[in-house]
Structure 1
Amino acid sequence: MPEPLDAALTEVRTLLLDPTLTRAVAAGRRRGRRPTVARAELRPVTLKAGPRLQIATSDGVRPYTRNVAPGAESAAAVDELLAEPFGNWHVETADATLQLRVTKSGEAQVHRAATAVRPAAAPAGHDRAKEYLLDPGDEIFAEIGGSAAKRRQVDAFLRALAATLPDDLTGSLRVVDLGCGNAYLTFAAYRYLSRRGLDVELIGVDVREDQRRRNTELAQRMGWADKVSFVAGTIADAVVDPAPDLVLALHACDTATDEALARAVRWEARWVLAAPCCHHDLAKQLRAQPAPTPYDLLTRQGILRERFADVLTDALRAGLLRVHGYRSEVVEFVDSQHTPRNLLIRARRTGTEATGAQCAEYRELVDQWRVTPRLETLLATAEQPPVA
């Protein structure tokens, strides 16, 4: 039920000045109004001078952080932020969590919940609570959607990302998400990587101009416009300069995954994460000719042929990446109950030249099934190591 905004903000003020405050974020804007800062984050810190309330703000271009003393100074700083026309507040204390959204009519939609008690040591066995890499209460879920299924998918993706990058990675990281769509995994990746202390610059590419505008507006609301940007264009042709360190391609349909992998190879990207979607190309090729002996039973039934085409396509993709200087593996990155398209091709560039045996292994499989993988065709036009 909508509530009077003034009363809801008074409640927010009380929580912000509560000694048990753990974290708070203000973002977004109200209808027809724009705050002087795009985003504000508050959290308690302990300095040599004593406890302070740290307030980090961003104008969309550069961040600014200040530490204010408890008492009158903190109260004045909090009142100053509450006077800004933010559209959303997310506040966490040791005992409570409050999420406030300002409606188009200027009222407050408020969700209140008790903060879950976190034991000092997680219990052993199957009752242990799941720990997410990105807090389910993070304000980003208020923007990208926070259903339980989406949070699980985000967490599964971030775990795959964490397993791909070195634990000791520091400094800057340039990321490109090819075929980003509505970009909820794009934003989650930025949030997670930046919280690891990396200086992340992320570009999302999607063919639809309306998606570019929508995602750009969201980046501005989050205060990330200086680090997260979007371009409209095809995976094969969108201008991305300079070349990225990490390439993401999540559920790009059919040969769009091949286009993303081909660009990653040409860029000599250090890491690649690709979650393929449908696999029509090789399935069509398999339908057009008899299977080699003795594998006719694998492709005689339509449903088996389609599933085998999925396996063959991703096996050949992983093999081609290995031929072109990557260590690659295909893993399950989210439980199949959430989506049947749950495989992830994970690759790390080694720069090691493929052995004759590796090239022969790939070529023998292609020749036996008499198929022409799209990724091989795309890479054939570039100056890359020979496949055979």
Structure 2
Amino acid sequence: MDALRKLIHQIVENASLITATLSQRRKAGEVAYTKVVIKPVELKKALHYQFAFYYENKVTHENIPAVELEERVMDMFGETFRQGLICTEEADYQVLISKKFKVSILTKSPTKKSTSLTHNRKKQYILEEGQPVPFLVELGIMNDEGKVLARKYDKFKQINRFLEMVQDVTAHLPEDRPLTIVDFGCGKSYLTFALYHYLSIERRRTLNVVGLDLKADVIAHCSALATRLGYSNLRFLVGDIAEYDELSQVDMVVTLHACDTATDAALEKAVRWNASVILSVPCCQHELFAQVDAPVMNPLLSHGILKERFSALATDAIRAKLLDIMGYKTQLLEFIDMEHTPKNILIRAVKGSSGSLPKLWAEYTAFRDFLHAEPYLENACRDLLPAEAGEA
């Protein structure tokens, strides 16, 4: 194995790897995956290598720093695989290892060209095109070969964007027990299925996920799909957000495009559950449109379309500040490009202090009073807010 280690070491030193495929397991059933594909990626301006593990009906990914590549590959050749194709800028190397660990390395002319990791590269999605994902196939986003249908490409991008945001907050979720997640107003549940797939299958977390919606026919369809996919810990229920009281503890609350104050009802539930993570994409914010009254802003508010947009932005600003006051660190993020929908702001909140409570409360009340607003979320959570809120 010394010659193989020398080759791998040289490739790592020169950072010349384009792609490598390890296959031909030593013993069937020794590991669940049948092959591993390795390629370089740039993460946080540093070279890493992405390992794609191919199972019978799924693919999982792991990124490792460049300094760990040599030992990881040698371990796989020593314990799991007997064959490899390593493509570099200089040559292709066919690696064959016998049962007695005799190594043969065949050197061939290079067949692949190196591409820049930083310029003109293909977007790296969490769920990659070309690899069939069962729930995406069932939902008509991919065909059986993993090709994304042209008319569904925007939805494919939206799902991946959502999973990127989930990926960023997984460190804030409990590690020592199964996760409980509620998706309020789940609708057709594209993102509910994506969330379940990512956390349960890709991240191998034990889950209890509930999707809630008012439409019985939609819930029936989603329940049938969950059964076909074998998602045994994903349930769909017919119900109203404000009246849902089945659970006493929830780790993550998702609410996507719940209309008007239904979003606030979901946020109240999340805060009272002491949820570790909240992900919310509000929709149809009408509440402040009828309330806002600031004469100095008449040049803006006298135009209906501008008042509507301002009211929606102000509503989300109020929600974010109230979440900060109630013990969260809150961000407002662009969910998808504006060209696809104007309803593209996602409120992402994780448990943790956002600063001085008196300062946060003073900022909030000054903004609220300037607009002459009486927000639903403040009234619903009055007992969770500073004592001064009772006098507001």
TM class, shorter-length: 0.5 to 0.7
Q: Is the 8 A contact 1:269 1:349 kept in 2?
A: yes
The Cα shift of 1:120 comes to 8.8
Shift of 1:50: 5.5
Q: Tell me which amino acid in the other structure corresponds to 1:243.
A: Q
Match of 2:162 in 1: 157
Name the structure 1 match of 2:125. Answer: 132
1:324 and 1:353 in contact (8 A); partners too? no
Say whether the 8 Å CA contact 1:325–1:351 is kept in structure 2.
yes
Contact 1:322-1:354 at 8 Å conserved across structures: no
Change (3 A) 1:167 1:306: closer
Q: RCO higher in 1 or 2 (8 Å CA, sep ≥ 6)?
A: 1
Q: After superposition, where does 1:170-181 map in structure 2 within 5 Å?
A: 170-171=175-176, 172-181=178-187
User: In the alignment, is residue 231 of structure 1 matched against residue 237 of structure 2?
Assistant: yes
The normalised TM-score by structure 1 is 0.66
Q: Which amino acid aligns with 2:183?
A: D
8 Å CA contact 2:180–2:207 kept in 1: the answer is yes
Quick one: distance in 2 between partners of 1:222 and 1:312?
A: 41
Report the more deviating stretch, 168-177 or 336-345: 168-177
- Contact 2:326-2:385 within 8 A present in 1 as well: yes
State the alpha-carbon separation in 2 of the partners of residues 132 and 197 from structure 1.
19
Q: 271, 284, 289: which is aligned to 1:283?
A: 289
For residue 52 of structure 1, report the CA deviation from its aligned partner. 6.7
Q: Determine if the alignment matches structure 1 residue 316 to structure 2 residue 318.
A: yes
How has the CA–CA distance of structure 1 residues 270 and 122 changed in structure 2, closer, same or farther, with 3 Å as cutoff? farther
Specify the alignment match of 1:218 in structure 2: 225
CA distance, structure 2, for counterparts of residue 133 and residue 264 of structure 1: 27
Instruction: Give the direction of change, closer, same or farther, for the CA distance of 1:233–1:45 in structure 2 (3 Å limit).
Output: farther
1:366 maps to what in 2?
Answer: 368
Partner of 1:187: 193
Give the residue type in structure 1 aligned to 2:324: R
Amino acid at match of 1:154: I
Q: Deviations over 1:318-373 (max 9, x none)?
A: 00001111111111121111211110001011267852111111011111110111
Amino acid across the alignment from 2:216: E
Deviation per residue, 1:11-43 (Å, 9 max, x gap): xxxxxxxxxxx9xxxxxxxxxxxxxxxxxxxxx
Which moves more between the two structures, 345-354 or 233-242? 345-354
CA contact (8 A) 1:180 1:204 kept: yes
- 1:243-283 CA distances to partner (integer Å, 9 max, x unpaired)? 21011001111111111111111111011000111111111
Q: 1:387 to 1:249 in 2, by over 3 A?
A: farther
2:169 is aligned with what amino acid?
A: T
Q: Deviations over 1:97-140 (max 9, x none)?
A: xxxxxxxxxxxxxxxxxxxxx97965344421122112333121
Decide whether aligned partners of structure 1 residues 385 and 231 sit closer, same or farther in structure 2, where only a CA change above 3 A counts.
farther
Larger mean CA deviation between 340-349 and 354-363 belongs to 354-363
Instruction: Please list, as runs of the form range in 1=range in 2, the aligned pairs for 1:1-388 lying within 5 A after superposition.
Output: 46=25, 49=27, 54=32, 122-136=115-129, 137-146=132-141, 147-166=152-171, 170-171=175-176, 172-194=178-200, 195-225=202-232, 227-286=233-292, 289=293, 291-293=294-296, 295-350=297-352, 355-380=357-382, 382-386=383-387, 388=389
2: CA distance, partners of 1:296 / 1:374: 24
Structure 2: how far apart are the matches of 1:243 and 1:221? Answer: 28
Match of 1:174, SS state, is: strand
Q: 1:182 to 1:120 in 2, by over 3 A?
A: farther
Give 1:108's aligned residue.
Answer: none
Q: Could you say if the C-alpha distance between residues 120 and 130 of structure 1 is closer, same or farther in structure 2, counting changes exceeding 3 Å?
A: farther
Matched residue SS, 1:375 = helix
Partners of 1:340 and 1:168 in 2: CA distance: 30
Output one character per residue of 1:271-306: Cα deviation in whole Å (capped at 9) or x when no partner.
1000111111111223xx4x243x222211111111
Q: Is the 8 A contact 1:318 1:345 kept in 2?
A: yes
Work out whether residues 122 and 129 of structure 1, in 8 Å CA contact, stay in contact via their aligned partners in 2.
no
- Of 128-137 and 182-191, more deviation after overlay is shown by 128-137
Segments of 5+ residues of structure 1 without an aligned counterpart are 1-21, 23-43, 57-65, 68-93, 95-117
Displacement after TM superposition at 1:150 (Å): 0.8
Tell me how far apart the structure 1 counterparts of residues 227 and 211 of structure 2 sit (CA, whole Å): 14
**How many residue pairs align between the two structures?**
281
Q: 1:204 and 1:347 mapped to 2: Cα distance?
A: 20
Checking the alignment, whether the CA contact within 8 Å between 1:45 and 1:52 is kept in structure 2 is: no
Shift of 1:384: 4.7
Aligned residues of 2:173 and 2:276 also touching (Cα < 8 A) = no
- What is the percent sequence identity of the aligned residues? 36
**CA 1:167 to 1:215, structure 2 compared with 1: closer, same or farther past 3 Å?**
same
- 1:386/1:275 CA distance change after superposition, 3 Å: farther
2-structure distance, mates of 1:45, 1:262: 53
